[in-house]
Structure 1
């Protein structure tokens, strides 16, 4: 427990500091975290990071991750998304060329893992670089943390009905509701001091989407770990597991907010 607290304080302070600084230091942090996260998911699948499939997974993830302000493909006269799509068809063709020694499942894993991690951290950066990005990003982080805390304490004190025992045996419906309730309480207090939206209705929708999507992101990573029979995604943070364990909710929330036109 002592190690967990020390790691949490040091890592949390460093993370918040770089979020505040923004610019290149923050971008480098996101690239580093995403790279570690990709390494963790490859390890779950028992793929060497230095294999062709591992290196391609990193490349595709970086392609989606790195903002256009730092890297473009104008010299190729194509966008990064167009190149990503081209690689999808190359991977599919490769399943034929190798006579399924490189299978459709492996191609799907490479594509999905790069999208999951690359876009998750990409929209984390995208949000930070908006005009009100710092306040908005802190709002999202606070909502996710509030949801986690509310779910934990409500689940321990009131939890009776299992939410999804096949995926995460300890989570309860009461805990999930408690997480949403605490997110609303903390979120509404936050916007009283830092107005972010032009209507109370949008604030309510935003809080609900973040809280629900955050819990779904946590369940997605739980399903991933259960499928590959691992307890933690990694050991980079002593007492806290891996990067995916810490950012599973946030990297699921960010693309969802973008798709719903909320950021």
Structure 2
């Protein structure tokens, strides 16, 4: 517990400081988090990071997470989608050139994993650089934390009906609903001081999307870990696990907020 608290204070304080600062420091931090995230996924799959497979994974994530301005700078002004499709074609060709030493299964894993992590962190970064980005990002963070907290305490005190025992045996329907309730309470209190949205309806929809999608994102990462028989995604944060253990809900939520027009 002591180690968990120390890590939380140091890592959390540093993260919030860089989040406040924004700019190049925040961009570099998010890119590093994304690279560590794909590293953790590769370790679950027993793919060596310092290999052709690993290099492809890192390259895919960089392609998806880097800001648009960085990709469009210099002499190689190419669309992100075009580069991504080109790399997919190259990767599929490698399954033939390596005589299936690099398999179709691994190729699919790299594409899906890089999309999950790369776009998740990309839209987190993009949200921060909006005009009201700092207030919006803190709203999302508070909603995610409130959902986790509410679900934990409601589940412990009221939980009777399992939410999805095959994936996460301890989660309950009552806990899930408790998380949503606390997220609504925190969201409306926060926006009373920092009015991120212009209407209560938009805020209500945002809270509902963040809270439900955040819980789904947590289940997605639990499914990964259960499938690959690991307890934590990594050990980069002593007492807290890996980067994916801490950011699983957030990186699942951010692309959904973008698709729903909140970013």
Supply the distance in 2 between the matched residues of 1:26 and 1:47 (Cα, whole angstroms): 29
Which ranges of structure 2 fall in alignment gaps of 5 or more residues?
none
Q: For 1:125-136, list aligned pairs within 5 A.
A: 125-136=125-136
1:69 lines up with 2:34 in the alignment: no
TM-score norm. by structure 2 comes to 0.97
User: Contact conserved, 2:64 with 2:115, CA < 8 A, in 1?
Assistant: yes
Q: For 1:1-263, list aligned pairs within 5 A.
A: 1-72=1-72, 75-263=75-263
C-alpha displacement of 1:119: 0.6
Supply the distance in 1 between the matched residues of 2:93 and 2:158 (Cα, whole angstroms): 52
Supply the distance in 2 between the matched residues of 1:35 and 1:235 (Cα, whole angstroms): 15
Q: Secondary structure at the match of 1:14?
A: helix
Supply the distance in 2 between the matched residues of 1:77 and 1:142 (Cα, whole angstroms): 37
Question: What do residues 200-224 of structure 1 show as CA deviations (whole Å, max 9, x unaligned)?
Answer: 1111000000000100010000000
TM-score norm. by structure 1 comes to 0.97
User: Contact conserved, 2:236 with 2:242, CA < 8 A, in 1?
Assistant: yes
Moved more, 217-226 or 4-13: 4-13
C-alpha displacement of 1:73: 6.4
Q: Secondary structure at the match of 1:166?
A: coil
Q: Secondary structure at the match of 2:71?
A: coil
C-alpha displacement of 1:100: 2.9
Moved more, 97-106 or 54-63: 97-106
Supply the distance in 2 between the matched residues of 1:77 and 1:4 (Cα, whole angstroms): 44
Which ranges of structure 1 fall in alignment gaps of 5 or more residues?
none
User: Contact conserved, 2:71 with 2:77, CA < 8 A, in 1?
Assistant: no
Moved more, 93-102 or 180-189: 93-102
User: Contact conserved, 2:71 with 2:78, CA < 8 A, in 1?
Assistant: no
C-alpha displacement of 1:111: 0.6
Question: What do residues 108-158 of structure 1 show as CA deviations (whole Å, max 9, x unaligned)?
Answer: 001111111111111110000000000000000000000000000000000
User: Contact conserved, 1:73 with 1:80, CA < 8 A, in 2?
Assistant: no
User: Contact conserved, 1:144 with 1:183, CA < 8 A, in 2?
Assistant: yes
Any runs of at least 4 consecutive aligned residues in structure 1 with deviations exceeding 6 A, and if so which?
none
Supply the distance in 1 between the matched residues of 2:182 and 2:157 (Cα, whole angstroms): 14
Aligned length: 263
User: Contact conserved, 2:155 with 2:176, CA < 8 A, in 1?
Assistant: yes
C-alpha displacement of 1:191: 0.8
User: Contact conserved, 2:165 with 2:171, CA < 8 A, in 1?
Assistant: yes
